[in-house]
Amino acid sequence: MIRLQIDGQTVEVAEGTTVLQAAKQAGVHIPVLCDHPALTSFGSCRLCLVEVEGARTLQPSCTMPVSQNMVIRSKTPAVEATRKFILELIFSERNHFCPFCQLSGGDCELQNAALEHGMTHWPMQPNWNDFPVDASNTFLLLDHNRCILCRRCARACSELVGMDTLGFAERGSATMLTADLGEQWGMSTCISCGTCEQVCPTGAMVNRFSAYQGHKSQAEAVPTVCVGCGVGCQTVVYVRDNRVIRIDGDFDAELNAGVLCREGRFEALLEKGDRVSQPMVRKDGKLVPCSWDEALSAAAAGLKDQPAAWASLRLPAEALATMKALCDAVNAPVAMIEAGVTGPIPPKLGMKVEDKLGSKDGVLSTSEWRGSFTEVYNVHAGANFKAAQAYGLTKEINANGKKSALVALADEIPSEALLDAVKPVGKLVVLASYKSMLTELAEVVLPVATWMEQSGHYVSLTGTVQEGRQLVKPVETVRSSEAALAGLVEKMGCSVKADWQAVLA
């Protein structure tokens, strides 16, 4: 162990620790811009300079390893004055006019550092040259005027994601962030995973979903799990006024370590159509709104005679277990609703999953991406594929000759194959969040929650059981899938005992 002193405090840390990390352990705050805990130290911005006793000049704490009996001072007048000067230089390089930036007011690390150092104005005339704004990416905006060339984005793209799409061209004040060899971002090999935007310390990269929705500090940060596919990435979801405004990756997560894919970070926030907000039964050929009691009675009456059944793999384990127990009671097998292929997922994440599985195991595939030589992964398994396997759901069933069917679709989009499979069935009961071709065919529609409106557990492909938290409340007439299925169990008078945990243990 190495013993050193930081601002008068003695700390003991492991060999190889940087001064910045040791300061963190001692509870001493040192401002940073280019440094990020998930990335290798880089030492380019010099904001983290500290005084090291015996050293001729100030030293960057983010790259300097600790040594025995070191004495560090992080808040001397010389250190503070140098940091302020560095900030003044950064502000002079490009247009960092904060009032016109949507990150201003709490989410910009550059502005926060400036305020911390008492900057109230620019002592040096800023460079008002126009730098381009690249709006070609569907999910992200890149404003070069706000870029401080800290390279967090490019390092994240290389170190965490494995794409190496982002890089830098030219030298000195002409240095520019580039995608590939100077492509428009939206035309480049970028897979829109958004990791670069999550680590960007300024308003240079903007998430189009969270822009103008308020600051992170105004929202509740809820740790939860992505239900886009079976990988089971851990996320931090920002919720404000019963609305999800942003999804970030969790840098502390063992598997995904802050990285998400396009679907997990952005597409999960897209509405999939008009909501089903009330129970409905078909009368005179038309679906009409009714009470839950009436809808459940109609559904129960139609499902007594060995129905066919399908369940979405986006359902929590609790709902899947209830569905299986209910169908066992009426002697009906349950098939998994085949999840669409998810991808591309970041190469480094795909490699980790493959490593843990020991092979692609029929659930991963790789492909080359837009002519680059970086292999990206696709996932062929829904969020709760492993739980569904454990409960004994089958890959497919033959519904020919069945008089009724129960489909727990929830917020899944029905595939052509599912629509074809249910068409010959007489009475169709559908649990759905959105109106679709499937609800159009149904006799009874039960309105159920989307992934963000209910809590429950998910088993990742690598076998970890994780909790998905409820993030927002649905309207009163919408129930969780588990509650809807429990209501059906009661109406059908089945003696059903569903223990979601027992089989998974």
Where does this chain bind ligand FES (CB under 6 A)? 32-35, 43-48, 60, 62
From the CB of 17, what's the least distance to ligand FES, in Å?
15
Which CB atom, from 67 or from 242, has the smaller least distance to ligand FES? 67
What's the min distance (Å) between Cβ of 236 and ligand FES? 23
List, in order, residues 6 or more apart from 86 with CB less than 8 Å away. Answer: 45, 46, 47, 49
Q: Of 4 and 34, which has the nearer Cβ to ligand FES?
A: 34
Pick between residue 32 and residue 260 the one whose CB is nearest to ligand FES. Answer: 32
Minimum CB distance to ligand FES smaller for 52 or for 191: 52
Indicate the length of the chain as a whole number. 505
Closest distance between ligand FES and the C-beta of residue 151, in Å?
Answer: 10
Q: How many CB atoms lie within 10 A of CB 7?
A: 16
Helices 109-116 and 77-93, axial angle in degrees (round to 10) = 140
Residue 29 or 497 having the CB closest to ligand FES = 29
| Residue number, 62 or 478, with CB nearest to ligand FES | 62
Residue showing tokens 């006799």? 443
Residue 327 CB, nearest approach to ligand FES (Å)? 57
Instruction: Give burial (CB, 10 Å; 0-12/13-18/19+) of 183.
Output: middle
- The strand pairing partners of 408, in sequence order, are 311, 431
Residues 50/59, Cβ–Cβ less than 8 Å: yes
- Shortest gap between Cβ of 86 and ligand FES (angstroms)? 9
Closest approach of Cβ 149 to ligand FES, in Å? 11
203 in Cβ contact with 146 (< 8 Å): yes
The values of phi and psi at residue 79, to 5°, are -65, -50
Give the Cα separation of 274 and 156 in Å (integer): 37
Q: Choose between 63 and 95: whose C-beta lies nearer to ligand FES.
A: 63
Question: Min. distance of Cβ 63 from ligand FES in angstroms?
Answer: 7
The nearest distance, CB 221 to ligand FES, in angstroms, is 24
Task: Assess contact for 4 and 68: CB atoms under 8 A.
Answer: yes
Q: Least distance in Å: CB of 60 to ligand FES?
A: 4
Q: Which three-class secondary structure state does DSSP give residue 308?
A: strand
Angle at CA of residue 265, ends 260 and 266, nearest 5°:
145
- Nearer to ligand FES by C-beta: 19 or 422? 19
Query: Residues 82, 85, 89, 90: what is their CA dihedral angle, to the nearest 10 degrees?
Result: 70
152 versus 402: smaller Cβ distance to ligand FES: 152
Residue with Cβ nearer ligand FES (47 or 245): 47
Pairing of strands 286-289, 280-283: antiparallel
CB 42 to ligand FES: min, Å: 7
Q: Is the dihedral of CA 400, 404, 407, 413 positive or negative?
A: positive
Torsion angle, alpha carbons of 278, 282, 287, 291, to 10: -20
Nearer to ligand FES (CB atom), residue 35 or residue 51: 35
DSSP state of 460: -
Smallest gap from Cβ 232 to ligand FES, in A, equals 33
C-alpha–C-alpha distance, residues 146 and 131, integer Å: 9
Amino acid identity of 263?
Answer: E
What is the spatial distance between Cα 433 and Cα 431, in angstroms, rounded to a whole number? 7
- The answer to whether 432 touches 409, Cβ cutoff 8 Å, is yes
Question: CA gyration radius for the chain?
Answer: 27
In contact, 383 and 314? CB cutoff 8 Å: yes
